[in-house]
Structure 1
């Protein structure tokens, strides 16, 4: 089924000897119908309706294949078929041209049937936007950026979710750049980290979009709004997003947050960590460079240290650095900045105190991105006191744990099991705990960087020794129980599984 629709579906668009009947999805050459597949027609419709403008390859793929993962080669095949069907290039007539590094453009004059009026030709112009300039390349994110570009024009509301330092803002910015020419009224980014008062958000949006966010009448603004860092204004963001999507039906919204907005029609897209090498041995530099975490570390190291080269003897250290930093782009970038002073082996040796090591970052970045500690502070400060307490105490677990284990180690008169279960689920939703499932057992895990941060907080509270002791006793009891079960010929149960 063809995916494109047109509000002027009765229109007939004419170019050269061809008439494109939009309602019938039919192209006539004089009075002879051209045989053309549905996807080719979709591509042609996008290009003809934007005659004179450059449509990026990513935008074309997003519009024509909104729900599928499609390689660029598929687009090139259909473009080639279109050119053959239209006789593009024959008798000196050109229709579709490739603009290197930018996309495709339909360059022939187009008229609407019956009026003699040309279809408005969009001159190539600098799109309206307020996007900040990216100073570095994007590594390991092509697939997820492509997914955003393909889906957003049709989903209308997408939220990128993930923990501090995972690169949500970077992915959103790159997707917004690729969608610039799709939105006629521009692409606008609002960093909510600088906004504390919900009233400021409404005022800011009204000024940027030139509309009354609370209006009831439909507003025809064909624009993309990027709301960055929504987690501390969730209720306000949810209300504003619901209002905007209802009052501006041609508006799309891309949000980033450490937890879902829970707005109507929201599509969640979790941002994964960069790929890290496995615990098994890496046998070559080429093999190591196949992992995006290593690619980022090496590229940033080269930017800091002229002539930096990844050597065979560095592979073990690089693998350990990427693993200890959980594949977090922000942590890897900040670590790479220390390589010229410490070298790879020195950096690896100091990762036990990685928060102290990664306190110096990019002075030109926004405060929460200047250091890993600042990014974690931003998340921690959004928690209520009970959530902060649970996060601190869970840091005594060195590996993944079950709810039974958490209850056995950190529950108390204030943190009863039912309360603790609820708080653990909230920490998951806020991207501070990850969930692992296997063999029918659900386990939870703190990222290494988050665990070190939470351990510091627990130590400052004066309770670190007490909960380390409780953890040790729980392990001892669980180990004894497991030994007894094995001796009785029984399979290990939840207590043993929680310690794996």
Structure 2
């Protein structure tokens, strides 16, 4: 191995079948230029200048991003891009080695050419995209983002699923940002919440991609791009058809979908997005330990943005834990609650949790309407349910904790809602992320998020049936307890 010193801008470096022209910031494989982004080239230059030596992650970040604070995942993404670019049938990944707990090393032999060889000057690749500017950091999603970044170019079709407010769009956009340099024809956000007519899906896609009126999907056959199909749940069948067509006809396209339910399309890889992690009661011992939980990190970060000088104190831990717990670790709910800190202070926010939909009404004015408030996000889901699904969702909200199917049938079945139909409807609500299904000691139990239950209870009260089903619930539970039947937690 060799270490290169005193490199000049007109230096030409050779390793394997590759030539790195430092002056032109260009890497050639034979006479073919590699498409590498600016950050990847910066990292490559640092590594080849120290070929045979270990360069720590901190040193790489300091040299490549000298005036920015970046996450480790940024570095890992560009290292992965370099490895993909240099992968060939003879060498595999034999250029950049990961040295555990230390950093990275360029392990191939590097020679300095005796003189610069003229090469064609190619305009630097400028990623094409329509991604919105990100104004705040993404918190608590590094593992999910990293997994998607690694898998998406290979699997090609992945769906982020979860309830409203869980942060599916945020995660998808972060993945898109990190993959910008990977796709020759760009990264594109296609927001399907903007349309309701299934017949408009293809036209909306081609318009978003700037392909002009009347363009067919054949125009994408040679595209090497990532498409983010956002909010697909209300156009499930049309999206399924579109995706299966694209996967077949455009082999270099990758598709990242967000939806509140699986599309059930061929080749789909599901990625359920969990809530942020809420601290247990045992974490109340110190601020430092408490700040290790992602729900707390997000809440505190957003509170500091609203109230200058906001600092978490030991006497605040119980209140913040209760806020995070009652809001289910949902990023949207936590952000909206933090936005009330300057007006209500922590004690006021906690006191308003029983009336959470009035608390969480000051939304983000720059967001699309369905993301401005938690109620708007739930309205988006609720309005797309069938009348029978709406009825079942309302009535099940009388359960204060987890419940099984037998209990649900006992409390809300009636002449117009037979037990067999109820089972199908509840399965549908699980698919739509409005109920969660979990296994407890081998038995299936259903559970609401607190925020979804509050919303459904409000709908049940407005229907005039709240008292009726509260009494049915109380009667059923009383009878079950006297019979020693464990139907609810």
The TM-score, its normalising length taken from structure 1, stands at 0.78
Partner of 2:35: 50
Contact preservation (8 Å) 1:300, 1:337 = yes
What residue ranges of structure 2 are gaps of 5+ in the alignment? Answer: 1-11, 20-28, 41-74, 85-95
Contact preservation (8 Å) 1:58, 1:149 = yes
Q: Deviations over 1:94-119 (max 9, x none)?
A: xxxxxxxxxxxxxx97xxxxxxx96x
Contact preservation (8 Å) 1:53, 1:121 = no
Query: Structure 1 residues 411 and 215, CA, compared in 2 at 3 Å: closer, same or farther?
Result: same
C-alpha distance in 2 between matches for 1:323 and 1:63: 42
C-alpha distance in 2 between matches for 1:204 and 1:50: 29
CA-based RMSD: 2.8
Q: 1:325 aligns with which of 327, 332, 341?
A: 327
Contact preservation (8 Å) 2:97, 2:105 = no
Partner of 1:97: none
Q: Deviations over 1:438-466 (max 9, x none)?
A: 21111110100000000000001111001
Contact preservation (8 Å) 1:221, 1:250 = yes
Partner of 1:384: 386
Contact preservation (8 Å) 1:51, 1:122 = no
Q: Is residue 132 of structure 1 aligned with residue 132 of structure 2?
A: yes
Contact preservation (8 Å) 1:185, 1:221 = yes
Partner of 1:38: none
C-alpha distance in 1 between matches for 2:286 and 2:399: 34
Shift of 1:345: 1.2
Partner of 1:393: 395
The TM-score, its normalising length taken from structure 2, stands at 0.80
Contact preservation (8 Å) 1:53, 1:123 = no
C-alpha distance in 1 between matches for 2:205 and 2:320: 44
Query: Structure 1 residues 92 and 280, CA, compared in 2 at 3 Å: closer, same or farther?
Result: farther
Query: Structure 1 residues 222 and 281, CA, compared in 2 at 3 Å: closer, same or farther?
Result: closer
Partner of 1:86: 109
Shift of 1:361: 0.8
Contact preservation (8 Å) 1:59, 1:149 = no
Q: Deviations over 1:151-202 (max 9, x none)?
A: 1111111111000000000000000000000000011111111112223321
Q: Deviations over 1:479-498 (max 9, x none)?
A: 1111xxxxxxxxxxxx31x2
Shift of 1:435: 1.6
C-alpha distance in 1 between matches for 2:97 and 2:274: 27
Q: Deviations over 1:230-279 (max 9, x none)?
A: 11111111111111111111011111000011111011101110000114
Contact preservation (8 Å) 2:15, 2:110 = no
Partner of 2:433: 431
C-alpha distance in 2 between matches for 1:290 and 1:92: 53
Shift of 1:207: 3.1
Q: Is residue 151 of structure 1 aligned with residue 148 of structure 2?
A: no
Query: Structure 1 residues 81 and 339, CA, compared in 2 at 3 Å: closer, same or farther?
Result: closer
C-alpha distance in 1 between matches for 2:271 and 2:145: 11
Partner of 1:37: none
Shift of 1:79: 8.4
Partner of 1:61: 80
Shift of 1:499: 1.6
C-alpha distance in 1 between matches for 2:299 and 2:253: 37
Partner of 1:166: 166
Aligned length: 420
